[in-house]
Amino acid sequence: MGNKKLGEIGIIGNGSWGTALAKILTDNGHSIHWWVRNEEAITHLRNRQHNPHYLTSVRFMPESIKPTNDLNAMLQSCDTVIVAVPSAYVQKVIEQADKSVWQQKNVISAIKGILPDTNLLLNDFLTANFDYDIKKYTSITGPCHAEEVADERLSYLTFSGLNDALTCAVADAFRNSTYLNTTCNHDIWGAQYASVLKNIYAIGAGIAHALDYGDNFLSVYITNCYREMYHFLQDHFEKVHPSNEHPDFHTSAYLGDLLVTCYSLHSRNRTFGAMIGKGYSVKAAMLEMNMVAEGYYAARGMQSVSKEFSIEIPIATFIYKMLWENLNASDGFLKLEKLMT
């Protein structure tokens, strides 16, 4: 099953999310070029048709994947590139290829963070540094966990872009009648910032759980997190959104993704927060998880963004202080309690 608007499709990254996206596309009949940094994983994918480290139950037909560790060769083979590496590593990966290469591509962002060296969303980084045409850019947001995709449990993805034809083509490539529904909007900035913020708030939810706060408090905490997110995205709309279309912030890409990331046991940010609440250091929690919690880097980046836009995000700021300034988690949540309404 081809898609003329997308042409040849490539994926950068073979973590759990990149693997889930590869599953969706190949299940839908697309073949993919797949940049995988680890040579062992490439060999495993070629010989045994599954990722040895992430979502190991997912099997790929040999003819559906073309794994390689040669990024430039992969990019030359593709018209559309899905970026699915953690935000902390995105800039280093992107800068391995010439600007002219990226300018030719449809870019689909599947990262759920901001680039830590610049505190920019991927689309803004590409526009500022690569003279990139933003109408060739689409972002993917949830609510959707990789583990539930692997189990083919009904999931939802939201695609945001300024080019309706391209955004719909991307959504069509991922949609199937078995386990994946898709929706589209124009809100590149809002959907991505919501995804960044919900990861920070999910770390807080995990900390609260580890500190033995109950469901009653957690429901109030998430309500206040959503109010803060809404304030950031809607009350300061002109600062946050270079486009002028007001999206519906009460849809699943915003509220739904916040809820599932704060509540689900699949949420790595919630898990990371639970470890912090139990007394793990940040370094120890990262080593234990062996996965990147996007909210950790996002907490620092959003402090710079909030200062740039002059928008207060007090809950996210308290989480930042717990992660980056050694604020004791119990003390931090005693202060957070006073913000809850």
The tens digit of pLDDT for each residue in 119-169 reads 999 999 999 999 999 999 999 998 999 999 999 999 999 999 999 999 999
In this structure, are 113 and 221 located in the same domain?
no
pLDDT at 244 over 70: no
In this structure, are 287 and 158 located in the same domain?
no
In this structure, are 273 and 130 located in the same domain?
no
| Dist CA 103 CA 138 (whole Å) | 14
Alpha helix ranges (H) inside the chain = 16-27, 39-48, 71-76, 87-94, 99-103, 122-130, 146-150, 164-174, 188-210, 215-230, 237-240, 257-263, 268-277, 282-289, 294-309, 314-324, 329-337
Label the pairing between strands 80-83 and 9-12.
parallel
In this structure, are 45 and 154 located in the same domain?
yes
Question: Where among 155, 186, 217 does a domain terminate?
Answer: 186
- Reference 139, options 162, 172, 115, 173; nearest CA is 162
In this structure, are 321 and 268 located in the same domain?
yes
Structural domain including 256 reads 196-337
Please count the residues of the chain.
341
In this structure, are 175 and 202 located in the same domain?
no
**pLDDT (0 to 100) of residue 2:** 53
274 assigned to some structural domain:
yes
70 assigned to some structural domain:
yes
1 assigned to some structural domain:
no
Q: What is the pLDDT of residues 288-304, one digit of tens each?
A: 887 778 999 999 999 99
pLDDT at 247 over 90: no
| Dist CA 147 CA 264 (whole Å) | 11
In this structure, are 22 and 158 located in the same domain?
yes
2 assigned to some structural domain:
no
Domain count for the chain = 2
3 assigned to some structural domain:
no
Please tell me whether the peptide bond between 143 and the residue prior to it is cis, using omega within 30 degrees of 0. yes
In this structure, are 14 and 40 located in the same domain?
yes
Do 176 and 182 touch, CB atoms closer than 8 A?
A: no
Average pLDDT for the chain: 92
Mean pLDDT (whole number) for 58-68: 93
Do 249 and 230 touch, CB atoms closer than 8 A?
A: yes
Q: What is the pLDDT of residues 64-105, one digit of tens each?
A: 999 999 999 999 999 999 999 999 899 999 999 988 999 999
191 assigned to some structural domain:
no
Sheet with 80-83, strands from edge to edge, namely 65-68, 32-35, 9-12, 80-83, 106-109, 137-141, 155-161, 180-185
Q: What is the pLDDT of residues 39-53, one digit of tens each?
A: 888 998 988 988 888
- Reference 208, options 85, 73, 318; nearest CA is 318
Question: Where among 186, 212, 243 does a domain terminate?
Answer: 186
Residue 155: which CATH number? 3.40.50.720
In this structure, are 215 and 233 located in the same domain?
yes
254 assigned to some structural domain:
yes
144 assigned to some structural domain:
yes
